[in-house]
Structure 1
């Protein structure tokens, strides 16, 4: 991998890094005679690839109405993945309701949720699929 992999300017003290994989950057000094020395890593950049969680949750899950009053409906457009757990959180980050399901559509009475801003996380059998937020009036 090139020493300036993902750097905006490898000769500047004010640079930004945008590598496509995790990398350690080293400082190499070269004198006027052409002699160079490389030290220990100066910067480490860890890259986590964008996954279905970050990118497509809006296309995979439809939660409505938002805001809601009596009931929310959650529709999953996910046939290839098994939904296992949906967790609902209040605005303090506390789990207030948890569902286990493999259904494509779920209706939930909002009395089990907090008034105001709520959050949800959806897990498959193997990973966090995504998260979102909604309001209960």
Structure 2
């Protein structure tokens, strides 16, 4: 089979939530470190997207599904000791067009800034 370290997870728009979450589950549950995660036009959370379009009232109707900011914090945080320092950081590439009118670019900027704040040494945008 293909080693986990050679597997790249890719998520675009709505798919960025499952891709990021899969990287975390692979690391935490199976002690696998994927080769990297590529997020194209990711979002902070589904709730935040609802807030962008329907203000706070709209976001109150949406449950907190696929909270990418929370998942990213967890992914940058504690990892299983068996992976050591080498397995702690999953390389992360964030791509987003500055003129995107569906998922506004500040979502990607927020995720990138949080990864940097968490000390992630392998994040690019």
**Interval of TM-score (by shorter of Structure 1 and Structure 2):** under 0.3
Which structure's relative contact order is higher, taking Cα pairs within 8 Å and 6+ residues apart?
2
Which has the higher Rg, Structure 1 or Structure 2?
1
Q: State the TM-score, normalizing by the size of structure 1.
A: 0.22
Structure (1 or 2) with the greater strand fraction:
1
Q: State the TM-score, normalizing by the size of structure 2.
A: 0.23
Structure (1 or 2) with the greater helix fraction:
2
